[in-house]
Amino acid sequence: MTKCGVSVLTTGDEDEVSSCYEEHEWGKNRVKGREKEREKKKRGNARKKGASRAGRGDEELEERAERGEKGRRRRKRDNHDGKGRERDEEEQAEEKSGRAQEERDTEEGDAKRKKKNESAKREEKKEDGGKRAVKEKANAVKTKKHKKKSSEEEDVEEEEEEEKEKELRPESLSPEELEKLKEAVDEKKKLIQTLRGKPWPMKKKLSTLRESQEFLEKYEGALGKGKGRRLYAYKVMMTKKWMKFQRDFENFKTACIPWEMKIKEIESHFGSSVASYFIFLRWMYGINMILFGLTFGLVMVPEALMGRPYGSMPRKTVPRADEASAMDFAVLWDFGGYAQYSVLFYGYYNNQRAIGWLKFRMPLSYFLVGVGTVAYSYMVVIRTMARNANESGGGDDNSFNFSWKMFTSWDYLIGNPETADNKFASITTSFKEAILEEQESRKDDNIHLTRFLRVLANFLVMCCLAGSGYLIYFVVRRSQKFALDGLDNHSWWERNEVNMVMSLLGMFCPMLFDVISTLENYHPRIALQWQLGRIFALFLGNLYTFIIALMDEINLKRKEEEIVKFNMTVWEASLYNGTVPENSTAPPVTIHPADVPRGPCWETMVGQEFVRLIISDTMTTYITLLIGDFLRAVLVRFLNYCWCWDLEAGFPSYSEFDVSGNVLGLIFNQGMIWMGAFYAPCLPALNVLRLHVSMYLQCWAVMCCNVPQERVFKASGSNNFYMAMLLVILFLSTLPAIYTIVTIPPSFDCGPFSGKSRMFDVIQETLESDFPAWFSKVFSYASNPGLVLPFLLLMVLAIYYLQSTSKSFKEANVELKKKLQMARKAMTQAAEQQSNNNASPQAQKGEARSFLWWSEIGSSGIHGKKKKKKETFRALCKDLNVLL
Amino acid sequence: VLFYDCTYFTRKEILRLFYRYRDLAPQLVPLDYTNQPDVKLPYELIGSMPELKDNPFRQRIAEVFSEDGEGNMTLDDFLDMFSVLSEMAPRDLKAYYAFKIYDFNNDDFICKSDLEKTLNKLTRNELTEDEVRMVCEKVMDEADLDNDGRLSLEDFQHMIVRAPDFLSTFHIRI
């Protein structure tokens, strides 16, 4: 068996192993049969004893393992000096066990009538066996006497075989025994599943595993009767196959996780906090992959394949005036020209209800993908948050401060001497801090000064925020003026002003905040949170100013559109008048679509703005990475040889990896994607590209030019913090998108919803024309206020109920904690008393401890429940959001 | 794969671990494990792995997981060690082994001397005597539920399963 197991390591072929395994198995079966049977009986007994023995389960298992080994040894011996002795031993053992069983049976017999019946039957059987045993014993004795008498030996063997066949044949087993057998098999299975969680040395695990696998192999086939037996065997086979498949699938799955090795390497160099950024990046990449799949597969590809080709209608053609410059790189880089009139943007899509031979409902699909993107993102973020919250296990109390510092502060991942040095230093300082805090209980010196400084700092930060907001608003306004003048007569700076200003603000304001926060004199962790919150506010303010400016622009464009619409009718009329006299049969088809006047199409404009923003943001990120990290590292490294002070240790030194800033950048980037994805279906694709590149670039940059952090930033606590920010951003970024979708009528001559008064009319249209009449009727009933309002009310009530229950759970938790402390005190007193009385303190202590554990279990159980409630609560909130 | 059910690894990982093990001493470990040779790697080799090199508790880890208690490991011990320290291992199992690691004198209790040793290893002896003593007292105060002056396994588990960082820091990626 060992051979088989380990040979895998070298040959690596699972099938071979299993076949080898089976062979081995069948060889052994016969020999082991009796032993197993006995074991099983014993186990049946044990189960009858039930709950009281549950605690001793482990011991039993160990025992069994030992016995198994003994058995194997015995078998080996067996080959050398015949079976006689072995049988002797076995019989004795059986007799013994039989007697023990009888005793147990009588103990329990009167308690349960049914069981009594059972046990009686078994006793009968036992007696039978006992008789046989006696006979055999005699035989065995004989064999001992006449060792050479082969006929006798044959006799014994024959008998043995008979017996074994009997045992192996399932028909001979009574139903109860079958039942028991089944239970035993199940138990073994469970054992195999939980084996890896057992704190045993590997050797024992292996032997136990072999043992129980053998048991399974043997008895699984023997279970069931007749028809049922075949079914059972089939079932067993299928579960085996399924297990194997699952195992393979798991192997496959872990092989498929991208960048695992890279992240592991980084983790071992920089500790878990830096790695947490990369894991977050990877997670984001996964989400964007799915969003990309949705938009690409359901919107862009169908339109490109089945929609009308380029140049067939005005909205799909570059206007005559721009044709000359449509292929210029500068224009394309700005996503104008041919890029603007392609599947990348909203305006290109046609309002034809169904396209191609598949009758693909393009407008409907467009709308649903837009909604689905948002819904999916909500779902994923909330699910991940709930999971993280469950994992962290709610260790928010401070009762084990020092112990945790002592036992969990070392990060076992660290595999780099430099990081290790930093870690040692930070652990030492954290201990010193804790000691100081413990020693002096809140010595508040000059609280007025700190308070004043803090207020001042916050005032300064507010000024910064307001200033940056105004700057952006101003710039966007100016750029609109430039746009009205026409882009050609302005410099590059004037054209890209908005994006550049936003990026620059995002770069320099955090530094300013950093300087300001030194005024405040907070604890580092709190300071970090303030810093994060401020940067968050800055980004958010910038984004919203940008959106408000965009809204202004949208309104402008819509006014323009009105005018164009009016002109259009005039133009059409004139065209009509002009063509009629010449040829009355041909409608004005001769007009090239590029010459048709058209509206400004604000949706495409919004999409373009977002795409430009993303591009410039990405560029700034990469450039700061290259200059701030790479160039700095290069300079420090090579100028160090000829400089008057030590550059590596002194002022510039190498840069640290800024986890929080990077995470914030990522989150805001994602927010912009969510906001703009409806108007520019290409955004998720762009983002996937960006994330992919930044994964490699940042991995490289971290490994080659950053030094490990000195500041301790706990990885586990921050994960949900990131997620919470992501959720906020998601909510804030879907708000304007939904607002525009719901309130502003779409442009009249571009996009999939042109000609409708609102974008969501597409749903109604589909209901009316694609579904049977009764369906739309039902829908209209369901959507009338009389039904919706009570439903909303119900939801609000449910939320209220869940919240109050979770509150009460929390209270119960606190209560239990109090009780725990009381118990501790009581226990201490009891122990003291006991020691005074000089009696055995063990019993009482055990009692108190068990009480402690019970209350603990209770509290943890409540905790788990609370978490679940919270999850449902969050899900409900999400539903509400969507509904509203 | 028999190891599969005993560890938290996939087959590929087990193979990789085997190669890592072998790379530590190619002249000692045979490639062919079919007839189960009795090979042990001395602690000096195990402790020089990059994953363990900088760990202040590396000697304890090796001692706890090795069968002879001296830090000399067979392949089984080696796999066992990284299985427990992998991400997939459950809290309780990790807590059990963490307890063993911090229990320097192997008496199944973490007593004051163990705590002091742990602390000195963590801070590289940079705390003064008084500080060390005070921290140890605080730890005892917090975690010792039955007030017998030492931490039993139950005390330790009770404390450690509530620690927010325990799972994220008590693992080694390989």
pLDDT at A844 over 50: no
Does the beta-carbon distance from A431 to B18 stay under 8 Å? no
Residue A571 has pLDDT above 90, yes or no: no
CA-based nearest distance B167→chain A, Å: 9
Q: Does B1 contact A5 at a Cβ distance shorter than 8 Å?
A: yes
Distance between CA atoms of residues B24 and B22, nearest Å: 5
- Residue A808 reports pLDDT greater than 80: yes
Over residues A167-208, the pLDDT tens digits come to: 444 455 566 676 777 777 777 767 666 666 666 666 666 677
Average pLDDT over residues A148-156: 40
- Confidence at residue A397, expressed as pLDDT on a 0 to 100 scale: 52
Contact A268 B54 (CB under 8 A): no
Mean pLDDT of chain A: 68
- Average pLDDT score over residue span A802-820: 85
CA angle, corner A702, sides to A700 and A704, nearest 5?
A: 65
What residues of B are in contact with residue A435 (Cβ under 8 Å)?
131, 134-135
- Predicted confidence at residue A687, as pLDDT, reads 92
Tokens of B132: 């060390």
User: Which is higher by pLDDT, A880 or B9?
Assistant: B9
Q: Is the Cβ pair A202, B159 closer than 8 Å?
A: no
Domain assignments of chain A as residue spans, ordered by start:
177-253
Tell me which chain A residues have a C-beta less than 8 angstroms from the C-beta of B146: 827, 831, 845, 848-849
Domain B91-169: give its CATH architecture.
Orthogonal Bundle (1.10)
pLDDT digits (tens, 9 = 90+) for A501-532: 877 787 778 778 877 877 776 766 667 777 77
Partner-chain contact B3 A203, CB within 8 Å? no
Chain B: nearest CA to A820, how far in angstroms? Answer: 10
Query: Which of A74-83, A177-186, A279-288 ranks highest by mean pLDDT?
Result: A279-288
What does the domain layout of chain B look like in residue ranges? 11-85, 91-169
Chain A nearest CA to B24, separation (Å): 16
Sequence length of chain B is 174
CB contact under 8 A, B172 and A264: no
Best interface-test mutation with B: which of A2, A208, A406 has the largest number of B CBs within 10 A?
A406
- Nearest by CB to residue B50, choosing from A17, A415, A434, is A415
A199·B160 Cβ contact <8 A = no
DSSP 8-state symbol, B32: -
Contact between chains at B170 and A435 (C-beta distance less than 8 A): no
Helix (H, G, I), strand (E, B) or coil at B65: helix
Instruction: For A276, name the nearest residue in chain B, comparing CA atoms only.
Output: B168
Residue A735 binned pLDDT confidence (cut-offs 50, 70, 90): confident
**Are A6 and B135 within 8 A, CB to CB?**
no
Greater pLDDT, A402 or A445: A402
B11 and A12 within 8 Å at the Cβ level: the answer is yes
Mean pLDDT across the stretch A355-362? 78
Cβ contacts of residue A806 below 8 Å, gap of 6+?
A866, A869, A870, A873
What does the pLDDT average to over B31-56? 73
**Torsion angle defined by CA atoms of residues A859, A864, A866 and A868, in that order, rounded to the nearest 10 degrees:** -170
| Residue numbers in A near B171 (CB within 8 A) | 412-413
Rounded Cα distance, A68 and A39, in Å: 10
As a whole number, mean pLDDT of residues A375-393 equals 80
Phi-psi region of A12 (alpha: psi -120 to 50; beta: other; left: phi over 0): left
What is the sign, positive or negative, of the torsion defined by CA atoms of A548, A553, A559, A565? negative
Among A314-328, A363-377, B48-62, the range scoring the smallest mean pLDDT is: A314-328
Q: Answer yes or no: is pLDDT of A265 > 70.
A: yes
Residues A272 and B168 sit within 8 Å (Cβ to Cβ): yes
- Is A415 close to B134, i.e. CB distance below 8 A? no
Of the listed ranges A88-102, A205-219, A529-543, the one predicted with least confidence? A88-102
Residue A82: pLDDT band by 50, 70, 90 thresholds?
A: very low
Taking the Cβ of residue B81 and every Cβ of chain A, the question of whether any pair is shorter than 8 Å is answered with: no
Chain A residues whose beta carbon lies within 8 Å of the beta carbon of residue B147: 827-828, 831
Q: CB distance A199–B96 less than 8 Å?
A: yes
Helices (H), A223-298: 226-256, 260-270, 272-295
pLDDT at res. A287: 92
Answer for the pair A282, A263: CB distance below 8 angstroms, yes or no. Answer: yes
Highest mean pLDDT (candidates A232-241, A281-290, A776-785): A281-290
Burial call A201-232: b when 16+ CB within 10 Å, e when fewer: ebebbbbbbbbbbbbbbbbbbbbbeeeebeeb
- Cβ atoms of A277 and A659 within 8 Å: the answer is yes
**Is the four-CA dihedral B138, B143, B145, B150 of positive or negative sign?**
negative
Q: Which of residues 194-253 of A touch B (CB under 8 A)?
A: 195-199, 201-203, 205-206, 209-210, 247, 250-251
Best residue in B6, B76, B131 for a mutation probing chain A (most A CBs within 10 Å): B6
Half-sphere exposure of A453 (CA within 13 A, CB side): 13
pTM over cut 0.80: no
How confident is the model at residue A570, as a pLDDT?
Answer: 79
pLDDT at B86 over 70: yes
Q: Is the pLDDT of residue A492 over 80?
A: no
Model confidence band, residue A276 (pLDDT cutoffs 50, 70, 90): confident
- With 60 as the cut, is the pLDDT of residue A646 above it? yes
Interface list for B 17-76 with A (CB within 8 A)? 18, 31-36, 50-57, 67, 76
Contact criterion met (CB < 8 Å) for A10 and B102: no
Chains A and B form CB pairs within 8 A to the count of: 223
Structure tokens at A875: 């899900």
pLDDT score for A763: 81
Chain B, residues 113-172, CB within 8 A of chain A, namely: 115, 118-119, 122-124, 126-127, 131, 134-135, 138-139, 142-143, 145-148, 154, 156, 158-172
Q: For the segment A431-472, what is each residue's pLDDT rounded down to a tens digit?
A: 776 777 666 555 555 667 777 888 888 888 888 888 888 887
Instruction: Using an 8 Å CB-CB cutoff, list chain B residues near A414.
Output: 54-55
Look at residue A725 in the predicted model and tell me its pLDDT: 82
Confidence of residue B44 (pLDDT cuts 50, 70, 90): confident
Q: Which amino acid does the sequence have at A262?
A: K
* A400:B142 CB<8 A: yes
Q: Please, what sign has the CA dihedral across residues B146, B151, B154, B155?
A: positive
pLDDT value of residue A409: 75
The predicted model gives A696-710 an average pLDDT of 80
CB contact under 8 A, A196 and B126: no
Helix axes A659-676 and A602-624, enclosed angle (nearest 10): 160
Domain B11-85 in CATH: superfamily?
EF-hand (1.10.238.10)
Candidate ranges A112-121, A486-495, A825-834, B116-125; pick with highest mean pLDDT: B116-125
Domains B11-85 and B91-169 share a fold: yes
Token look-up 């799949």 returns A293
CB A511 within 8 A of CB A436: no
Q: What is the pLDDT of residue B37?
A: 63
Q: Report the share of chain A in percent with pLDDT over 90.
A: 4
Residues A156 and A140 sit within 8 Å (Cβ to Cβ): yes
3-state secondary structure of A766: helix
Tell me how far the alpha carbon of residue A92 is from its chain's centroid: 57
Q: Are A403 and B8 inside 8 Å of each other by CB?
A: no
CA distance B157 to B95: 6
Q: What pLDDT, on a 0 to 100 scale, did the predictor assign at position A798?
A: 93
Cα-based torsion angle of the residue sequence A491, A497, A499, A501 in order, rounded to the nearest 10 degrees:
140
pLDDT band, residue B4 (cuts 50/70/90): low
Q: How confident is the model at residue A290 (pLDDT cuts 50, 70, 90)?
A: very high
What's the pLDDT tens digit per position in A94-141? 444 444 444 444 444 333 444 444 444 444 444 444 444 444 444 444
- A419 to chain B: which residues are within 8 Å by CB? 54
Cβ separation A399–B32 shorter than 8 A: no
pLDDT of residue B96: 84
Q: What is the pLDDT of residue B12?
A: 72
Closest partner CB to B169 (pick from A195, A411, A420): A411
